[in-house]
A and B are shown apart, each in its own frame.
Chain A
């Protein structure tokens, strides 16, 4: 059974770095990519970036200077790090598999000034 679950701090101070983990099960990170998507409260969805099955990454150009995505295949975990946080980075952060209808439950992150 394919599952993805996001974890990380729910409150981060402005100007600090956000670190989130997506732990997957039911598939291997060497066979599928993982995408990060975020959704500010009451707003739409924004594609942030992807780590492909081969470990390569692609990022939304709007976030590229602040964002990095990495993984630990042995632990089935994908990591998102985004620095220089501002209050408009407050959002639900989701991870989703690049193929198939699989999404995590999301984690709500609030950036406090």
Chain B
């Protein structure tokens, strides 16, 4: 199975400051189609996960452009340009290229 290694485990960020989360995969996530199936999700306390980004860098509808995704092959990053209070929760990366799909272990974002 593809192992998704997320860092840091937790992050404390002041409102208005940037945040960055890394996700590294044990294998290339480039699929046979040439697409890279790497998603980022946010799980707010007591809620279901919510997808923010798919195909490395495409924002889901309604997701503010403070969020951005980048990376390729095995190395990916989620950036929040200016953290807001509503951003707190646990962020997960998810690879959808290889079966079984696998998640990163999560990064907990706290507001300082």
Residues of A within 8 A of B (CB): 35, 37, 44-47, 58-62, 94, 100-101, 103-106
> Are the C-beta atoms of A45 and B49 separated by less than 8 Å?
yes
Q: Please, what's the 1-or-0 string for B33-64, where 1 marks a CB less than 8 Å from any CB in chain A?
A: 00000000000000011110010000011000
Shortest CB distance B35–A (Å): 13
Return chain B residues, CB-CB under 8 Å to A103. Answer: 48-51
* Residues of chain B having any CB pair with chain A under 8 Å: 1, 48-51, 54, 60-61, 92, 94, 99-106
With a CB–CB cut-off of 8 A, which chain A residues contact B105?
Answer: 44
A45 adjacent to B60 (CB under 8 Å) = no
Given A44-B106, A46-B103, A47-B103, decide whether A101 and B51 contact each other with a Cβ distance below 8 A. yes
In the bound complex, CA of A94 to CA of B99 (Å): 18
B92's partner among A35, A45, A60, A104 (CB-CB below 8 A) is A45
What are some 24 contacts across the A-B interface (CB < 8 A)? A35-B101, A37-B49, A44-B92, A44-B103, A44-B104, A44-B105, A44-B106, A45-B49, A45-B92, A45-B94, A45-B106, A46-B103, A47-B100, A47-B101, A58-B99, A58-B100, A62-B100, A100-B51, A101-B50, A101-B51, A101-B60, A103-B49, A103-B51, A104-B48
Taking a contact as CB atoms under 8 Å apart, the answer to whether A94 and B49 are in contact is: yes
User: Given the complex, which residues of A lie within 8 Å of B99, measured CB to CB?
Assistant: 58
**Bound-state Cα–Cα, A59 to B50, Å:** 22
Query: Given contacts A100-B51, A103-B49, A104-B48, could you give 20 more A-B pairs where the C-beta distance is less than 8 Å?
Result: A37-B49, A44-B103, A44-B105, A45-B49, A45-B92, A45-B94, A45-B103, A46-B103, A47-B100, A47-B101, A47-B102, A58-B99, A61-B100, A94-B48, A94-B49, A101-B51, A101-B54, A101-B61, A103-B48, A103-B50
- Within the complex, the shortest CB–CB distance from A68 to chain B, in Å, comes to 16
Query: How many angstroms from the CA of A47 to the CA of B49 in the assembled complex?
Result: 13
CB pair A106–B48 under 8 Å, yes or no, is yes
